[in-house]
Amino acid sequence: MNRRHFFQCMALSGIAVLGSQNAAEAARVVSKAAQTISKSGNGFTLWQIPSQINTIGNSYVLITNKGRIVVMDGGVKEETPFLRGFLGALGNEVEAWFISHPHNDHMGALNEILKSPGQLRINRIYHSRFSPELLKQEPEHLPFSTDFYQHLDEGKFPVTDLREPGLELKIDALHIKILGVTNEEYHQNPYNNSSTIIRVWDRHKSVVFLGDAGVECGNKVLRGPYGRYLNCDYLQMAHHGQQGCDEAFYKTIQFRACLWPTPSWVWNNDAGKGINTAHLKTFDTRRWMDEKGIREHHVSCLEGLWRLD
């Protein structure tokens, strides 16, 4: 067992402070994976983290073949204790943390960690910064996004501002490529349409993270120089699977399985009056996937903590 894996195991001793059976069980699962992944021949293992409070959110944790940790978004601030425990079980060190866009359900947990990092070390945070003008286009979110940027700017951790797509990183056997960044030109659905779109892969599998990409954002990448990198094995469904990318986008790219970071009320389009009676468009997306012939779906509200090796 190497030094990194030793600390990943030792972190389990502190997981009980969460006072949560679910967190403790997650820690046991995570620790076991951390000890075995290097023997699997895979470049990374990924966990889709379900919401602990049945709310919208986007949270993925990856561990490389050498034990380094990558986080995609992280979810809402109320789920910070669970995420801290999860990362603590992996050694309290994140090699790279990617934020798709400054909506609370994507950066809320990281914002809380920036306020009080504790023992957690983050070697670099990656995001594509919004201009002040873009931030103001959703005034209801402005206080929260401004607060996030203020904490990001305090310099507790190194930060990379992704200004152009195309950056490619390699962390051990995990490959990462930035396909799309902030789009200042879109004034409809502006925050979601500036979601950073990211592809990750190893020798055996590939995943594309769409964040909350809207129609314009998705199609810009599809028609741009990195459109071919949208083809993948596993696709994170845009905007939790409803009112994100459009039908033509999903039916143009090639993938075989869907990742749904989706709470039950979004999956069922149910605001309290029954299945598919609310205003959400989840069932449209589900129908498109049926028509495309996709049969493998990993839905966070149905499967809980789901792991991809």
Residue-wise pLDDT for 238-291, tens only, equals 999 999 999 999 999 999 999 999 999 999 999 999 999 999 999 999 999 999
Residue-wise pLDDT for 6-31, tens only, equals 233 333 333 323 334 455 565 566 66
Residue length of the chain: 309
Residue in the block written with tokens 């602990």: 52
Strands 159-161 and 168-171: unpaired
Residue 100 vs residues 41, 48, 181, 193, 253: alpha-carbon distances, Å:
29, 16, 8, 10, 20
Look at residue 12 in the predicted model and tell me its pLDDT.
32
Instruction: Name the band, by pLDDT with cuts 50, 70 and 90, for residue 42.
Output: confident
Look at residue 111 in the predicted model and tell me its pLDDT.
98
Instruction: Name the band, by pLDDT with cuts 50, 70 and 90, for residue 186.
Output: very high
Greater confidence, 237 or 9? 237
Residue-wise pLDDT for 198-223, tens only, equals 999 999 999 999 999 999 999 999 99
Look at residue 20 in the predicted model and tell me its pLDDT.
43
Q: Count the neighbouring beta carbons within 10 Å of the beta carbon of residue 164.
A: 8
d(CA 92, CA 112): 15
Integer Rg of the chain from CA: 18
Indicate the CATH number for domain 3-304: 3.60.15.10
Residue-wise pLDDT for 112-156, tens only, equals 999 999 999 999 999 999 999 999 999 999 999 999 999 999 999
Residues 152, 156, 161, CA angle at the centre, nearest 5°?
A: 45
Look at residue 38 in the predicted model and tell me its pLDDT.
54
d(CA 121, CA 26): 20
The beta strands (E) that lie in 110-196 are given as 121-122, 125-127, 159-161, 168-171, 174-180
Residue-wise pLDDT for 45-91, tens only, equals 999 999 999 999 999 999 999 999 999 999 999 999 999 999 999 99
